Structure 1
Amino acid sequence: MPETYADLIAAEDVLLFVNAAVTATGQREFRSSAGEQRLSLAFLHEYVRVNHRPVYAAALALDINDHNAVTIVEQLLRTADEADGPAGKRAEGRLIAARLALLPPQRVYRLFRALRAAKVNNRRTRAIVRDWLAARAASGGLAHDAVKYRSGLKTAARHVHRRFPGDESGDFLFAPGRRVRYEHAALDAYRRAHYEQGALYELPFTVAEGFAAKHGVPRAVFLERIAPRMTRLERLRTQRSGPATDLAAMPLTRLALFVLSLPFGERVARRAELTGALRAAAGRVAGPYAGTWGRVAAVLDDSHSSSGSAVKRRRPLAVALGCHFLLEALAAPGAYSAHWTSGTPDGFDPLLVRPWGPTPLGTRILDALEAAPDRLVIVSDGWDNAPPGLAGEVLRVWRTRLDPERRTSVVHVNPVYDAAGFDVRRLAPSVPTAGIRDAEDLAALVEIAQFAEGRTGFAELLAYLDRRVELFVKGAPR
């Protein structure tokens, strides 16, 4: 059946929202303020929720960022009366429960606090909160939450009138003077840490920090003794100099951000270690697809705008660096070429990239296409300015005159949300563009990009979302 104009508009709306939900976090970007980002994102959420509610809920099954996942859950619960009957509510409930299970606990508790402040207290909301708290208790995490997220857990428990029969966590939260000691180690360590300095090293790092300050423990001594209790990310945040532990186990984009935070001298001194860690992280992400993409060329943006903003420092550049190593892993052995916008002279070391200069995307795309690769991946914020518009013209001529058979697959992934355009900035109508936040999502976003290219329709897009939802609620890897 031929698609109607309404179908085409709906497909465009959905893809536009997915791009925003992947990239935008409501924070300041290089070219737009936090207020502009939040206003633009709020409009998109309301527009898609009102006009395409089933698809809006289905976005929870995609690789969107946590900020937008929490916003979707909150909006669905706030507007429960708009759901498409009992079946629609059940489908939304399953998606919400599955997504909450993946979110960091602090974000979930922040969500519950927002729902309580907004007086969202319908039966479905109470059931979702109770089920999530029950799952935390079953996994043994409720006592940990009582220590680390005390106010959040108290707020959630009060909101749904949760009882704690026979659970020490209830007394810890609501009647701390009732027990002389606690059987659970974390709860008792928190009690003892008020007067016993050694007990603070049995607590989570963020809780122990406050007690260390109270007891006047020197920072260096505290960090050395608390190290076994720290997560990998906490170690990275506190060990900006010297070798950080277990770099090879870090997620690819996080690791790229850490590498870019190091001074150039340290990057040079630790070149072998850092390069090995990045390649190991990329290899884990590539998995069974390593070496299967054939000849791959990448155009990577390291212009001045890739410096990001004060709250997202070097984030676009880190995504480009992560994509560089991932594409190297996905390409056939020896069949990968990288073209940074600043130039790639002989001996260029990607570890030493820095955000500077204009964005000559058109020139670099010409360089990349010269070898007629099987795939061309462009990682850029889309602000082609040296000269303006050259990249779009190069891609138009390539697609319409030189490669109409599409022997080379071209995809543009953009790590920056354009608040004014309600989307990520595109280079050319003939080239699909997808938003990207983490380099790890590159392969999945290339799959999404086929819908943006226009060669598949709205029915295929809905079928794809249905498959993702089915796998998601069953707990299969995304």
Structure 2
Amino acid sequence: MDETFADLIESEDVLLFANAAISATGQREFRDGRHAQRLSLDFLHRYIHGNYPDLYAATLALDINDHNAALIIRTVLREQGGDGELIAWRLARMSPPRAYRLFRDLRGDGTNNRRTRAIIRDWLAARPDLAFDAVKYRTALKAAMRHAHFRPPGELGDFLFAPARRTRFETPILEKWRRAHYETQALYDLPYTVAEGFAARRGIAREVFLDRIAHRMTRLERLRLAGRAARDGVDTAADLAAMPLVRLASYVLALPVSTRIERRAELTGALRASAARTAGPRRGTWGRLTAVLDDSFSSYGSPVKRRRPLAVALACHYLLEALAGEYRARWLSGRADPILARPAGPTPLGLRIIDALDDHPDRLVIVSDGWDNAPPGLAAEVLRVWRRRLDPAGEVAITHLNPVYDAERFEVRRLSPAVPTVGIRDAEDLPALVELAAFALGRTGSAELRAYLADRAAAVRR
């Protein structure tokens, strides 16, 4: 059946929202303040939920970020709609702090219907170690249990709601928490963030504490503290290759240039290993591939998202290198060494796209915030001429990935109507986003998009 104009508008609206939900986090960006970002994102959520409530909930099956997933779940549960199985699946993918924050917001909204209580209880029941949560997220866990009308039996319930009732706990981590109040050695068997509070109250020297708590740190905690610990003379080296790709790229870019040069082999090896793990069975299957990567001044991001756009570009560089059979990177600055990337200079996207097309690739991927200014508008003209005159059959697949949400436009900024643009936050989502880009040219309607979302949701249940 032919799509109507209304169907095409629906598809465009939902794709616009999906791009925002992938890239926007309501934080300050290079060109937009926090208030503008939050106002714009709030409008989009209200608009899509009001006009397409079923598709609004179905976007949980896409690779949207946790901030927007939490907003969708909060809205859907408040309205007592949506797919409970899909909500539970998306909740399971959230970090525990984010999930507990969502439960706190639901409590603040007064959302306490039967479905909400059941979803919270099921999430808590699925936690691998609720006693660990009781120690690390004690206040948040208590609030979630009260909201769900759930109190665990036995000593876990006593620990949370009546700790004075017991003089000893059989569960090791609960007993260690109790002993840490009066025994210094016990605090080193607690999670790092919990032990840190005990150490501060006891006045334990920072270098002593870091040295003795290192075995309890998660990989991310070790990575976050690596610089500070090194200054204190403590070795807390993390397994860098096991880190998520964008987080690892952010770590590399935060290092001084001299340190990056000194550790070039280690950092490059870690980035390539992380990229190879992310590529998985797709490794080497994308043929000849050229990437245009934005390292202009605007890739600095903002003080709260420092170097985030550049980190996404660097992570994409190594992932695309792993996916390609034959690969070439075109950084806007002309830089040849990605390890030394830094945000500086104008954004000559048009010139670099011309260079990239001269490589005769099978696929061209552009990672940029889309602000083409050297000269302005050249990228759009190059892509228009290429698509209409030089490659009307679309033999070269071109995709623009944009890590920055434009609050004024209510979308990620596009380079050209002839080329699909999708938002990106984590490099791990890149293969799925390139697939989603096929819907972003405005030539397909709601039937195809609904089928795609249904397939993604069905995959969740398998």
TM range (shorter): over 0.9
Mapped pair 1:186 → 2:173:
yes
Alignment correspondent of 2:252: 259
Alignment correspondent of 1:114: 105
Which structure 1 residue ranges, 5 or more long, are not aligned? 84-88
Mapped pair 1:125 → 2:113:
no
Give the 5 Å matches for 1:281-360.
281-332=274-325, 335-344=326-335, 348-360=336-348
Letter of the 2:111 counterpart = V
SS of corresponding position for 1:10: helix
Q: How far did residue 460 of structure 1 move?
A: 1.3
Give the 5 Å matches for 1:130-279.
130-136=121-127, 139=128, 141-166=129-154, 168-240=155-227, 241=230, 244-279=237-272
**Which of 396, 399, 402 is equivalent to 2:387?**
399
Alignment correspondent of 1:37: 37
Letter of the 1:207 counterpart = V
Quote the RMSD (CA, aligned, Å): 1.2
CA distance in 2, matches of 1:298, 1:135: 41
Letter of the 1:230 counterpart = M
Alignment correspondent of 2:62: 62
Q: How far did residue 453 of structure 1 move?
A: 2.1
Q: How far did residue 458 of structure 1 move?
A: 2.1
Letter of the 1:277 counterpart = A
Alignment correspondent of 1:95: 86
Mapped pair 1:414 → 2:402:
yes
Letter of the 1:127 counterpart = A
Q: How far did residue 455 of structure 1 move?
A: 4.5
Q: How far did residue 243 of structure 1 move?
A: 7.6
Aligned length: 456
SS of corresponding position for 1:445: helix
Which structure 2 residue ranges, 5 or more long, are not aligned? none
Greater CA drift, 376-385 or 247-256: 247-256
CA distance in 2, matches of 1:413, 1:165: 49
SS of corresponding position for 2:59: helix
Letter of the 1:197 counterpart = T
Give the 5 Å matches for 1:432-471.
432-471=420-459
TM-score between the two structures when normalised by the length of structure 2: 0.97
Q: Kindly indicate whether the alpha-carbon contact (under 8 Å) linking 2:12 and 2:442 is maintained by their aligned counterparts in 1.
A: no
Q: Kindly indicate whether the alpha-carbon contact (under 8 Å) linking 2:60 and 2:69 is maintained by their aligned counterparts in 1.
A: yes
Give the 5 Å matches for 1:4-15.
4-15=4-15
Deviations 1:30-66 (A, max 9, x none): 0001111111111111111111111111111111111
CA distance in 1, matches of 2:62, 2:14: 12
Deviations 1:160-180 (A, max 9, x none): 2212222x1111111111100
CA distance in 2, matches of 1:250, 1:424: 27
CA distance in 1, matches of 2:151, 2:284: 54
Are the structure 2 counterparts of residues 243 and 188 from structure 1 closer, same or farther at C-alpha, using a change threshold of 3 Å?
closer
SS of corresponding position for 2:165: coil
Deviations 1:298-352 (A, max 9, x none): 10000000001111110000000011111111111xx2111111113xxx21100
Deviations 1:427-453 (A, max 9, x none): 000000000001111111000000012
Deviations 1:399-429 (A, max 9, x none): 1011111111110000000011110000000
Letter of the 2:36 counterpart = E
Mapped pair 1:27 → 2:27:
yes
